[in-house]
């Protein structure tokens, strides 16, 4: 019996990457974990402390200390920027490609023609900068919440069209553009005028729908993320399926990673529910890979709310102790993040930070696994653990884990 769990605490970085002054100067000095502990000096996270969080952070800004029993390391982001979607694709073994950055108005002609050729009715909206209205209920434009120019949104009123329609429109757009992500989503709105009322322009180049203002998140929200250059046939879930190991994805990772042969718990945000499902799934299988995402930390980062971030960390830490208690000698756990989201840095976007790699398995000797050059080293280690073919990207650190009986 062997089970492997990867718990991603979304946005919980441990310090700005070395290239930040050159590629993302707005993130200079970012340190999500460090700054939260500085502002909450009495915060105790005993399970994360035991697993080596302070070891990975590199200094002790509060009451927690380095752990002498930890197996720990730090991982760099190989993908550009700091992105939840590409972070998880990278974790599960994808070699990140450099996406195009382009305002939607530079591709609107191509997208509109492709949609019309596919039989969709389109209307251009806006003066100067334009966005597309499709079938009178679906808006296409720039994503205004992520780094501008990297993502296009397909925003639908599910009271007028089905989510399958929104997804189909998104697939047409995805084939026409090379930005990092196309997000097709929708919710039930009393009127499509809610979409019109949420139109915003930024920097004189970008136009789209402010998703929170539109109200699509409030009732029956559904979403699918479509990435650029992602080949799911060489990711961890496909590699494990080939050797008979089931994959369970829980939380936001289930919304953004392909898992056709496994179980995906989608559209979940509540951290308690997510951790409860993780424990329940662990108990259902003798051989299993689980990847769980805790999104509420990321939401607290976007809200620049240190107290809320600390509160969510405490909940996760408590639940993590229960998870450790259920794990058997052959099981393995990795706790990590996918980027940073420093609530103290002065902006509300993700921050480009290294992330902690905290490894736990009963009977392992303490040790360091070093600075890993890519998040994909986790995916490569998962495949190595189960004897599956390696994913597209990454190098396993399994050989660095030493058991006490081998001394």
Q: Of 198, 227, 256, which closes a domain?
A: 227
Beta bridge partners of 206: 202
Q: Which of 300, 307, 304 is nearest to 343 (CA)?
A: 304
Give pLDDT tens digits for 91-149.
Answer: 999 999 877 789 999 999 999 999 999 999 999 999 889 999 999 999 999 999 877 89
Summarised one tens digit per residue, pLDDT across range 371-393 is: 999 999 999 999 999 999 999 99
**Which among 345, 378, 393 has a CA at the least distance from the CA of 20?**
345
> Within the chain, what is the greatest distance between any pair of CA atoms?
72
Work out the number of other CB atoms within 10 angstroms of the CB of residue 211.
21
The Cα–Cα gap between 238 and 240 comes to: 5
Q: Strand ranges (DSSP E) for 11-61?
A: none
Q: What is the domain range of residue 188?
A: 104-227
Shared-domain flag, residues 158 and 179 = yes
Residue 406 has pLDDT above 50, yes or no: no
Q: Rounded to whole angstroms, how far apart are CA atoms 243 and 2?
A: 13
Number of domains in the chain: 2
Confidence of residue 180 (pLDDT cuts 50, 70, 90): confident
Domain boundary, last residue among 227, 259, 278 = 227
Shared-domain flag, residues 49 and 119: no
Same domain assignment for residues 245 and 343: yes
The residue-averaged pLDDT of 54-63 equals 97
* pLDDT for residue 399 is more than 90: yes
Which of 63-67, 112-116, 177-181, 247-251 has the weakest average pLDDT?
Answer: 177-181
Pairing of strands 181-187, 222-227: antiparallel
- Whether the pLDDT of residue 405 is over 70: the answer is no
| Phi, psi torsion values for 224, nearest 5 degrees | -140, 135
Tokens representing 293 are: 């995402």
- 404 falls in which pLDDT band (50, 70, 90)? low
Domain match, 223 and 245 both: no
- State pLDDT tens for residues 266-279: 989 999 999 999 99
Provide the 3-class DSSP secondary structure of residue 18: coil
Confidence (pLDDT) at 407 = 39
pLDDT band, very low/low/confident/very high, at 3 (cuts 50, 70, 90)? very high
Same-domain status, 317 and 370: yes
pLDDT tens readout for residues 232-268: 999 999 999 999 999 999 999 998 899 999 999 998 9
pLDDT at 146: 77
Query: Mind listing the pLDDT tens digit for each residue in 337-366?
Result: 999 999 999 999 899 999 999 999 988 999
CATH number at residue 262: 3.40.720.10
How far is residue 110 CA from its own chain's centroid? 30
Q: Verify that 252 and 163 share a domain, yes or no.
A: no
The encoded tokens of residue 164 equal: 């399958």
In total, the chain counts a number of residues equal to 407
Task: Look at residue 181 and give its three-state secondary structure.
Answer: strand
pLDDT digits 0-9 by tens, 282-300? 999 889 999 999 999 999 9
- Judgement on whether residues 349 and 289 belong to the same structural domain of the protein: yes
* Contact assessment for residue 339 and residue 381, using Cβ atoms and an 8 Å cutoff: no
Domain boundary among 227, 248, 263: 227
Pairing, β 131-134 against β 199-202: unpaired
Structure confidence by residue, pLDDT tens digits, 300-327: 999 999 999 999 999 999 999 999 999 9
Same domain for 172 and 27: no
Residues 38, 75, single domain; the answer is yes
Asked if pLDDT for residue 31 goes beyond 90, the answer is yes
User: Please, what sign has the CA dihedral across residues 212, 213, 218, 224?
Assistant: negative
- Specify burial of residue 154 (Cβ count, 10 A radius: 0-12, 13-18, 19+): buried
Report the share of the chain in percent with pLDDT over 90: 86
Ramachandran angles phi, psi of 33, nearest 5°? -65, -50
pLDDT band at 153; cut points 50, 70, 90: very high
Query: Same structural domain for residues 211 and 242?
Result: no
- On whether both 143 and 176 belong to a single domain, the answer is yes
Of the two residues 258 and 180, the one the predictor is more confident about is: 258
- Same domain flag for 136 and 186: yes
Check pLDDT > 90 for residue 6: yes
Number of neighbours of residue 170 by Cβ within 10 angstroms: 24
The predicted pLDDT at position 137 comes to 97
Residue 239: predicted pLDDT: 98
């Amino acid at each position: 019996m062997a089970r492997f769990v990867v718990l991603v605490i979304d946005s919980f970085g441990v310090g700005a990457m070395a290239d930040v002054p050159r590629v993302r100067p707005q993130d200079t000095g970012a340190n999500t974990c460090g700054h939260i502990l500085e502002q909450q000096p009495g915060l105790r996270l005993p399970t994360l402390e035991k697993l080596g969080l302070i070891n990975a952070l590199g200094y002790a800004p509060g009451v927690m200390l380095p752990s002498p029993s930890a197996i720990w390391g730090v991982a760099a982001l190989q993908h550009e920027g700091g992105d939840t979607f590409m972070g998880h694709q990278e974790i599960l073994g994808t070699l990140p490609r450099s996406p195009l950055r382009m305002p939607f108005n530079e591709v609107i002609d191509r997208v509109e023609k492709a949609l019309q050729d596919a039989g969709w009715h389109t209307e251009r909206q806006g003066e100067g900068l334009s966005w597309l209205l499709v079938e009178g209920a679906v808006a296409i434009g720039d994503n205004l919440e992520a780094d501008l120019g990297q993502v296009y949104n397909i925003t639908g009123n599910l009271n007028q069209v089905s989510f399958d329609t929104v997804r189909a429109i998104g697939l047409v757009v995805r084939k026409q553009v090379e930005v990092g992500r196309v997000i097709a989503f929708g919710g039930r709105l009393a009127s499509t005028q809610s979409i019109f009322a949420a139109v915003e322009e930024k920097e004189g180049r970008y136009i789209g729908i402010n998703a929170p203002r539109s109200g699509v998140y409030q009732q029956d929200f559904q979403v699918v993320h479509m990435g650029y250059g992602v080949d799911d046939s060489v990711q961890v879930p496909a590699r494990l399926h080939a050797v008979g190991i089931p994959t369970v994805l829980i939380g936001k990772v289930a919304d953004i990673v392909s898992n056709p042969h496994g179980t995906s718990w989608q559209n979940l945000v509540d951290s308690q529910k997510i951790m409860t499902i993780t424990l329940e799934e662990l108990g259902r299988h003798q051989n299993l890979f689980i990847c769980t995402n805790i999104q509420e930390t990321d939401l607290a980062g976007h809200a620049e709310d240190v107290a809320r971030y600390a509160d969510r960390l405490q909940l996760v830490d408590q639940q993590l102790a229960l998870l450790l208690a259920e794990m058997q000698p052959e099981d393995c756990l990795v706790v990590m993040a996918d980027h940073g989201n420093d609530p103290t840095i002065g902006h509300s976007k993700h921050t480009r930070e290294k992330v902690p790699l905290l490894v736990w398995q009963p009977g392992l000797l303490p040790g360091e696994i070093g600075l890993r050059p890519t998040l994909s080293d986790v995916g490569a280690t998962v495949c190595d653990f189960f004897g599956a073919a390696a994913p597209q990207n990454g190098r396993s650190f399994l050989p660095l884990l030493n058991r006490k009986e081998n001394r």
